[in-house]
Amino acid sequence: MVTIKEANVSEGPVAREIRRKLSENFALTRLEIEDDSARHAGHHHEGGIDGRPGGESHINLTIVSESFRGLNRVSRQRAVTAALRAELAGPVHALSIRALVPDEDV
C-alpha cells in the first residue's frame, strides 16, 4: 500500500519515481511518501525537480518491508538511500527515512 500523507496533494514526478524504485527494490508492506517542501519555503534548497517552490525537495518516507529484517537502523537507511541515489544527487535535498519491518509498524 502506498499513501501520500495529505490526500488532497497529488503525487509529483519525484514521489512517483521514489515509489517506483522502492517498490522494485523492496517487498513493501507499506510506503508513505510525504512532500515536506512547503515547510522549507524560502530555504535556498526549496525547489525540487523543476526549481520551483514546493518542488519535492524535502521528503519524509515511512517504508515497511520484510526486506529490512535482521538489518540495523543504519543498514536499513543505507539500503534506501542506495536505491534513491539519483534522486539524492538531484532534486531531493533532504530525505527523512523511517524504515521498519512489519511487526515494528504499530
Among 82, 78, 91, 77, CA closest to 24: 82
> 71-106, pLDDT tens digit by residue?
999 999 999 999 999 999 988 889 999 999 999 998
Cα 14 to Cα 2, 11, 91, 102, distances in angstroms = 14, 8, 8, 25
Q: For the full predicted model, state whether its pTM sits above 0.75.
A: yes
> 36-75, pLDDT tens digit by residue?
876 655 555 544 444 455 568 889 999 999 999 999 999 9
Among 81, 96, 88, 94, CA closest to 40: 94
pLDDT band at 11 (very low <50, low <70, confident <90, very high): confident
* pLDDT of res. 106: 85
